[in-house]
Structure 1
Amino acid sequence: MTSEQMRVSYTPDGDTIRCWRTVGQAAAEVRVRLAYIDAPEIGNPQTTAYAVSARAYLRRLLALGEVVDVRIVGQDLYGRILAEVIRIRDGGNCGLRLIHGGYAALWQCPRSRGEYYAAQEIAQRKRLGIWRTPGPWQTPWLYRGRAATMSHDPLDYPASRYLLYALIGLIGGLVARLQYWAGGEIPHCWRCALFRLGVDLLTSGFCGVLTLWLSAEFGLSGVMTAFLAGISGHMGSRALFLVERILQRRLQRLGEK
């Protein structure tokens, strides 16, 4: 087992963190999967509440920018470092605390690591977290096997996914702009009309991408995320139109003076 000190940069779910190898290493961001544990999957509608709870607890354990001791035990199929993550400030084992609190279940843990099994037995006996009632949240690896483990870290999303949600937001913004033009709000100058349309589409596309990021935080389904991306693009366009109206009125008042 090798050990490195890394700085926490992001926590996408209840058993994964992103870290910077900036302490005694060349700067590089890596993904670290907590060894021996498995937290409920955010992408599974049945387990989202437990998954969000596990992520929130891990974020409380590890502050952004905190330096931790990463004790590497291997690498998983998705290129992530498998490691025990230890808080330097108090020596706390984050994976073990997740197990002890009922936020995660043991997964591929060797019998020699008796402290993990003891922690899970305590959580089960006290019916904490995922052990409160039987359900798929107690066996997250089964869902992951069926779902082929799609990452819920926005930084791992392919460019095509960003483009898709930008397009959805753009369509929402275009609908709003066409509604305004249909109501007689068409600029007399065609250059002004094209400029406003361009700014409008950029804003609504950005709103669609922002919605994709927020969906990862709240564990929303793909259908709900697409719906909200269109709505956010539409509302972004409407907000721009209101700003235009306010600026026009102020310019008119200045002209009258």
Structure 2
Amino acid sequence: MPEKDPTSWHLATWALALAMAMGGGFVNWYAKVKVSHTRAFNLLELIGEMVTSGFVGIGVFMTLDGFGQPPSLCAAGAGIGGHMAARLLFILERLIEQKLKKVAS
């Protein structure tokens, strides 16, 4: 399946995948700001969310493309995957904090 090789994708395909994935990270960060889990000007957390989301979202895009799905579905999956990756890290962070509080007390 040489048509599924990511090295043959156009720049627009990479931009679409990355934009959707990082958009999912931005949405997750914004949701945290709305419920006061983080400050609005905490740019380091925003960058971390977007990098994590971008990495996972690109992987989801490549996986769906490898299964022969249309680019629109791959892009939607990249956005959802990017959002859920950041949510999963947030949940894991909370679990680790709870465990550390139990150990400390």
Tell me whether the two structures share a fold, i.e. TM-score over 0.5: yes
Does structure 2 retain, via aligned residues, the 8 Å contact 1:167–1:208?
A: no
C-alpha distance in 1, partners of 2:72/2:28? 21
SS of match in other structure, 1:240: helix
Partner of 1:153: 5
Partner of 1:221: 70
Does structure 2 retain, via aligned residues, the 8 Å contact 1:204–1:234?
A: yes
Task: Tell me, yes or no, if structure 1 residue 207 matches structure 2 residue 59.
Answer: no
Percent identity of the aligned residues?
Answer: 27
Deviation track 1:139-160 (CA, whole Å, cap 9, x = no partner) reads xxxxxxxxxxxx3322211344
**Residue type of the alignment partner of 2:88:** A
Partner of 1:194: 43
Structure 1 or 2: more helix by fraction? 2
Using structure 2 for the length normalisation, give the TM-score.
0.82
Structure 1 or 2: more strand by fraction? 1
Does structure 2 retain, via aligned residues, the 8 Å contact 1:169–1:229?
A: yes
Does structure 2 retain, via aligned residues, the 8 Å contact 1:169–1:233?
A: yes
**Residue type of the alignment partner of 2:37:** E
Select the residue among 248, 253, 257 that pairs with 2:97. 248
Q: How many residues align?
A: 104
Task: Tell me, yes or no, if structure 1 residue 179 matches structure 2 residue 28.
Answer: no
Partner of 2:84: 235
Q: Which of 1 and 2 has greater Rg?
A: 1
- How far apart are 1:168 and its partner, in Å? 0.7
C-alpha distance in 2, partners of 1:231/1:241? 15
Using structure 1 for the length normalisation, give the TM-score.
0.37
C-alpha distance in 2, partners of 1:209/1:162? 8
Unpaired runs of 5+ residues, structure 2, are none
Q: CA RMSD in A?
A: 2.0
**Residue type of the alignment partner of 1:245:** R
C-alpha distance in 2, partners of 1:169/1:247? 26
C-alpha distance in 2, partners of 1:186/1:252? 20
Does structure 1 retain, via aligned residues, the 8 Å contact 2:65–2:74?
A: no
Report which structure shows greater RCO (CA 8 Å, sep ≥6). 2
